[in-house]
Amino acid sequence: MTRVKLCGLMRPQDAAAANDAAPDLAGMIVSPGFRRSVSRDIAAKIRRTLSKEISLCGVFVNASLEEIASYLEEGLINAVQLHGDEDNNFIDALRSAYPQIPVIKAFVIQGPDDIRKAEASHADLVLLDGGSGQGAAFDHSLLSGVSRDYILAGGLDPDNVGNLVRYLRPWGVDTSSGIETDGEKDPKKMTAFVKTVRTEDSGV
């Protein structure tokens, strides 16, 4: 089964819409300075609204271990997604402190060297993206030699995700801008995205 992650939740109503769409994972950007960044207060409201059946990833960019730990200790997230310059030593320290928490490391894929870096990551999963949250696609032929599980991101939307799941068979798919209308999460697109992946998996 292809796991589905709906990322960039910004409001409690986005979490409510995610409950209806029923993805496997959701994400919210808790590091400041980005369009979709949320405060700790909003993060707590999203966590309270989101179904416990949906794993909630906190997206961090060059955050300290202490900052990440504070979100984990408060129960605001139950997975960590790293989008900065975090190296394997940082990932090892995080996994040692919280061995039960999945760690995802994002990589911007522009060529074979980026694939090699992703392959060598100590993270539980790698997320392969065309940019840093801009919804940019990349050359998917680069994925032909990937030997580990990965989450495909970058330019995915309800219209193209079915074909990508069919031909690439990633461990999971991730979208944020592809389920938005005018910069806000669109419940219809969220539901359509998940339904398309589920339909492709079922072979209908």
Known catalytic residues are: 7, 129
**Contact in structure between 134 and 158 (CB atoms under 8 Å):** no
Nearest to 41 by CA among 20, 12, 66, 19: 12
Structural tokens at position 8? 């960039």
Report d(CA 179, CA 142) in Å as an integer.
25
CB within 8 Å of 83: residues ≥ 6 apart:
31, 59, 60, 61, 106, 132, 133
- Give the dihedral of Cα atoms 168, 184, 7, 2; nearest 10 deg: -40
CA distance linking residue 136 with residue 38, whole number of Å: 22
Q: What is the Cα–Cα distance from 172 to 31, expressed in whole angstroms?
A: 23
